[in-house]
Structure 1
C-alpha cells in the first residue's frame, strides 16, 4: 500500500477511529517503555536489597577470618580450614554454592574451587565497584570466565561482591564473591514483574478507555454539529440560488422595462420631429406669406416669427436628444464608433478610440442602450465641463464582461457631489449609475480637481450574474 492510499484511508476514519488507532500505537509503545523501566527498577531494587542483606550476613563470618590479607596474599591455614568448615555441612553452605576471595589485580587467593586459587582474571565491573567500597550484585549474570562452574549448575544464582575491610583502618583489603541460591528471589522477582506489568497495563488501559470515551463523545458532538452545518449550508445554498434566480429575473425585468421606456421615448422623439416640428415650420412659412411686406416689419409680427423659430429649434433639439439609432442591429464596435463619431461631429472634439480583448458576449438591447447613453452623457460632460478638446475611449471586451472607460485630463470634479440630483431636476451621472445597476452592471468614477476624470462602465454577462 503506497503513501497516498494510506493517507486516503486515514482521512476516511472518523475522529474517534483516528484517536483509537494512533492512541493504541502510542499507548502500547509507552506502556512497553514504562513497563520495562519499572520492572527493571524493581528487579534492581530487589536484587540490591537481597545482596546487601546477604553481604552483611556473610561479612560477619568472612571478615574476621580474612584479616591476614592486609599483610599477605594468602590466608592462614587456620583461616582456610575455618572457611571450609563454615561453607561445608552448614545451613549457610546450602545457601551459598560457591565463593571466591579476591586481591587487587584480579588474583583469587581463596575459593571453594581449589583449581581457581592463585589464578588471575580480568576484574569485572562488579569487582571494581566492590574495590571502591560498595556492595555490588548481579542476578543470573554468569558470563565471566571464572563463572563457568556456577553457570553449569543451571539454577538461578545471586552473585554478590562484598568488600572486606581491615578492622582498625577500615580500608578494603579484599573482596569476597559468593553465589547464593536464588530460587526464592527468582519467585519474588517474577511476582514483582507480574504485578508491575499488571499495574502499568491496567493504568494505561484505564487511561486509554477514559480518553477514548471523551474523544468518542466529542466525535459524536462534532458529527452532529457537522450535520447541522451541512444542513444549514444546503439551506443557504438553496436560498442563495433563489436569490440568484430572483436577481436574474429582476435584471431581466428591469432590462425589458428600460427597453420599453427607451422605445417609447424614441417614438416620442420621432413624433415630435414629424408632428409639432413640421406644423411649426408650416406655420412659419404661412405667416411669411400671409402678411404683407409692410406688416411683416411690424414688431408684433417679428416677435411671433422669432417665437416660432425658437420653438421649432427647441423641438428639433429635443427630438435629436430622444432619437436613437437602431441599436438592435449594431454590434459593440459599431455602436461605440457611432456614439463617438456623433459626438465629434457635434462638438469638433478629438476622441482617441481603442478596442482591447476578444469577441464580447452577445449583448441585449438594454445593454447596448446603456453603453450608448453612457458615451453620450460622459462625452457631453467632457465637452461642457472638462475644458479640454481631447478625450480617450477604451473598450475592453470579453466573454464574461465588457468595460468601457472614458478619460480626460480636464478640470475634474468632486465625484461624491456629482452623484446627486441636479437643481434643474436632471439626474446626470446618478441616472447613469442607476441604469447600470438596474441591469447588473457598475459605474466607477475617479476624479480629482485639476487631475482629470475617468468614467468606467462595466457590464457583466447576464448569464453569469451572481
Structure 2
C-alpha cells in the first residue's frame, strides 16, 4: 500500500522509509565482477602504480561507505522532519475529531448533522490547505466518516488501524504515487490526487475514560515537506561528497609520496644488487685467477722437485759411486791391516748411495702427463708395493679421463704421501687406496689399520714429521681448490680424504 511505515507509542510519532536503493546497489556490485573479464581486469590493475591502485580502491571503499553514511544521515533527518510534522498534525486532528465521535460509544455510525459539520469545517477552515482527506474508523474496520463518501459504511482489513487501536500514533509516508495495489480500495481517492501525501492514524478516545472508541485517519499534503527533505538531502550529499573527495585527495598525496620513496629505495636497492652481482663476478674471476696461480705454483714446484731429484741422482749419487769404486781399488792395493777400515767405509758409502737413491726416487715423479688418473693411481700403488714390500688394496671406480695435469699431479702426491705415512706409522697394515667420481665430485681416500694419530702434543721426531706431512698434504689439496679431511681414532686407523669439484 505505502512504502514507508513507523509506529510510535502514545505521544511519539515515528516514520520509517525502507530504502532499497543501497541494498540493490550492493547486490549488483557483488554480482558484478564474476564475469569472464574479472581476471583481465585484475591483471590490468596490477600493472598500475601503487598510488593509482590506492585511488581506485579508496574511491570504491570510501564511495560505498559514504553512500551508506549519506543515506543514513539523510534518512535520519527525513525521519525526524516527518516525525515532527506528523506528531503536530496528529495532536491537532485528535483535538479536532474527538468531540464528534463521542456518540460512537453506543452507536455504529455518525449522525448526518455531525458528518455535515465535519465536511463544512474541513472545507471552510485552514485545514483544507494541507489536509486533503479525513476518515474515521470503528475498531472493527468500518469507516463511519470519509471525505470520499463511496467508502462510508464499508469494512476493510484492520491491519492499518491496528497500531492506533493499541494507543499508538501510526504514520505512513506515501511518496510512491505510481504503485497501486488492487486491495488498496480505501485509498483510491487519495491516490487519484496524484500528489505526495503522508497519512496519520491517531486513536480517538472517549472523554473522561480515555477508552479508544475510534481511529482517525487523515491525509496531509507532503509537497512542502518533500521540498524541505530534498533540500536537506542535497546539503547532506554535498557535505558527504566534499568530505569524501577531500579524504581521497589527501590520502592520494600521502600514498603518492610514499610510493615515490618506495620507488627510490627500489632503485637504490636494484643498483646495490647490480653492484653486488658485479663484485661477486669480480670475486669469482679473482678466485679463478688464484686457483690458476696455485696450480701454476704446483706445476713449478713439481718442476723444482724434479730438478732436485735429478741433481741428487746425477751429483751426490755419482760421487758416492766413485768413492766406492776407489775404495775397491784401495782395498786391492793396500795391506790386510786396512781391510776392516776399508770395509766400514765401503758399507757407509753403500748406505749413503742407497739413501740418496731412495730420496731421488721419492722426489722424481714418473711421467703422468700421458696417463689417465686411473692409470697414475694404479702405477703409484704398484711402485709403493714394490718399494715397501707391502700390499695396497686398490678400489678405483670409473674416473674422468680429462683431469687437468696440475690436479692429477696433486692427487698423485697426496696419495703418495698418505701411503708413505701408512707404511711408516702403521707398518703398512690395512693399506687401502680408493677413488670415486659422482655428480662432479672427485674423491680420493687413503686409509690404514694402524694405531691412529694421537691428539696429544708429539714428543718424538717421527710424530713431528707426521704432523708436518699432514700440513703439507692439506696445503697441497686446498691450493688446488679441494677439501682435505683427516679422520683418526686411537687403535682405529687413519683415513685421509681429498675432495675436488671438477
- Asked if these proteins are the same fold (TM beyond 0.5), I'd say yes
Q: Could you tell me how far apart the structure 2 residues matched to 1:449 and 1:79 are? A: 130
Q: Sort the Cα spacing of 1:200 and 1:283 in 2 relative to 1 into closer, same or farther, 3 A.
A: same
Unpaired runs of at least 5, structure 1: 462-466
Match of 2:292 in 1: 252
Q: Could you tell me how far apart the structure 1 residues matched to 2:48 and 2:448 are? A: 63
Using the TM superposition, give the Cα deviation of residue 307 of structure 1 relative to its aligned residue in structure 2, in angstroms: 2.2
Query: Given that residues 435 and 442 in structure 2 are in contact (C-alpha distance below 8 angstroms), is that contact kept between their aligned partners in structure 1?
Result: no
Match of 2:370 in 1: 329
Using the TM superposition, give the Cα deviation of residue 410 of structure 1 relative to its aligned residue in structure 2, in angstroms: 6.1
Match of 1:28 in 2: 63
Asked if 1:130 corresponds to 2:164, the answer is yes
- For residues 10-46 of structure 1, what are the alpha-carbon distances to aligned partners after superposition, in whole Å with 9 as ceiling and x for unaligned? 3322221221222222222223233233323332232
Asked if 1:265 corresponds to 2:305, the answer is yes
Which sits farther off after the overlay, 404-413 or 134-143? 404-413
Q: Could you tell me how far apart the structure 2 residues matched to 1:415 and 1:167 are? A: 120
Asked if 1:459 corresponds to 2:493, the answer is no
Using the TM superposition, give the Cα deviation of residue 78 of structure 1 relative to its aligned residue in structure 2, in angstroms: 4.9
Which sits farther off after the overlay, 434-443 or 89-98? 434-443
1:19-418 correspondence runs (5 A): 19-104=54-139, 106-124=141-159, 127-139=161-173, 140-141=175-176, 143=180, 145=184, 146-292=186-332, 294-295=336-337, 297-298=339-340, 300-345=341-386, 346=388, 348-355=390-397, 360=400, 362-385=402-425, 388-391=429-432, 393-398=434-439, 400-406=440-446, 412-413=452-453
Number of aligned positions between the proteins: 454
Using the TM superposition, give the Cα deviation of residue 321 of structure 1 relative to its aligned residue in structure 2, in angstroms: 1.9
Which sits farther off after the overlay, 99-108 or 85-94? 99-108
Q: Sort the Cα spacing of 1:110 and 1:355 in 2 relative to 1 into closer, same or farther, 3 A.
A: farther
Asked if 1:441 corresponds to 2:482, the answer is yes
Using the TM superposition, give the Cα deviation of residue 221 of structure 1 relative to its aligned residue in structure 2, in angstroms: 0.7
Secondary structure of 2:468's counterpart equals coil
Query: Given that residues 446 and 454 in structure 1 are in contact (C-alpha distance below 8 angstroms), is that contact kept between their aligned partners in structure 2?
Result: yes
Query: Given that residues 340 and 375 in structure 1 are in contact (C-alpha distance below 8 angstroms), is that contact kept between their aligned partners in structure 2?
Result: no
Using the TM superposition, give the Cα deviation of residue 318 of structure 1 relative to its aligned residue in structure 2, in angstroms: 1.5
Using the TM superposition, give the Cα deviation of residue 249 of structure 1 relative to its aligned residue in structure 2, in angstroms: 1.3
Secondary structure of 1:427's counterpart equals helix
Query: Given that residues 272 and 319 in structure 1 are in contact (C-alpha distance below 8 angstroms), is that contact kept between their aligned partners in structure 2?
Result: yes
Query: Given that residues 396 and 403 in structure 1 are in contact (C-alpha distance below 8 angstroms), is that contact kept between their aligned partners in structure 2?
Result: yes
Q: Sort the Cα spacing of 1:297 and 1:205 in 2 relative to 1 into closer, same or farther, 3 A.
A: same
Query: Given that residues 298 and 410 in structure 2 are in contact (C-alpha distance below 8 angstroms), is that contact kept between their aligned partners in structure 1?
Result: no
Q: Sort the Cα spacing of 1:207 and 1:417 in 2 relative to 1 into closer, same or farther, 3 A.
A: farther
Query: Given that residues 430 and 447 in structure 2 are in contact (C-alpha distance below 8 angstroms), is that contact kept between their aligned partners in structure 1?
Result: no
Q: Sort the Cα spacing of 1:452 and 1:205 in 2 relative to 1 into closer, same or farther, 3 A.
A: farther
- For residues 372-401 of structure 1, what are the alpha-carbon distances to aligned partners after superposition, in whole Å with 9 as ceiling and x for unaligned? 222223344444556851546241244x44
Q: Could you tell me how far apart the structure 2 residues matched to 1:383 and 1:62 are? A: 132
Using the TM superposition, give the Cα deviation of residue 113 of structure 1 relative to its aligned residue in structure 2, in angstroms: 1.3
Q: Sort the Cα spacing of 1:386 and 1:294 in 2 relative to 1 into closer, same or farther, 3 A.
A: closer
Query: Given that residues 254 and 438 in structure 1 are in contact (C-alpha distance below 8 angstroms), is that contact kept between their aligned partners in structure 2?
Result: yes
Q: Sort the Cα spacing of 1:347 and 1:106 in 2 relative to 1 into closer, same or farther, 3 A.
A: farther
Using the TM superposition, give the Cα deviation of residue 191 of structure 1 relative to its aligned residue in structure 2, in angstroms: 1.0
Q: Sort the Cα spacing of 1:31 and 1:425 in 2 relative to 1 into closer, same or farther, 3 A.
A: same
Which sits farther off after the overlay, 288-297 or 55-64? 288-297
Using the TM superposition, give the Cα deviation of residue 187 of structure 1 relative to its aligned residue in structure 2, in angstroms: 0.7
Give the superposed CA RMSD: 3.3
Using the TM superposition, give the Cα deviation of residue 252 of structure 1 relative to its aligned residue in structure 2, in angstroms: 1.0
Query: Given that residues 381 and 392 in structure 2 are in contact (C-alpha distance below 8 angstroms), is that contact kept between their aligned partners in structure 1?
Result: no
Unpaired runs of at least 5, structure 2: 1-35
Match of 1:464 in 2: none
Q: Sort the Cα spacing of 1:282 and 1:212 in 2 relative to 1 into closer, same or farther, 3 A.
A: same
Q: Could you tell me how far apart the structure 1 residues matched to 2:421 and 2:111 are? A: 132
- For residues 278-324 of structure 1, what are the alpha-carbon distances to aligned partners after superposition, in whole Å with 9 as ceiling and x for unaligned? 432343244234214835642x3333223223322221221122122
Q: Could you tell me how far apart the structure 2 residues matched to 1:239 and 1:263 are? A: 36
Q: Sort the Cα spacing of 1:364 and 1:154 in 2 relative to 1 into closer, same or farther, 3 A.
A: same
Which sits farther off after the overlay, 365-374 or 59-68? 59-68
Q: Sort the Cα spacing of 1:363 and 1:127 in 2 relative to 1 into closer, same or farther, 3 A.
A: farther
Q: Sort the Cα spacing of 1:353 and 1:69 in 2 relative to 1 into closer, same or farther, 3 A.
A: farther
Q: Could you tell me how far apart the structure 1 residues matched to 2:60 and 2:477 are? A: 64
Secondary structure of 2:409's counterpart equals helix
Q: Could you tell me how far apart the structure 2 residues matched to 1:392 and 1:176 are? A: 118
Q: Sort the Cα spacing of 1:156 and 1:449 in 2 relative to 1 into closer, same or farther, 3 A.
A: farther
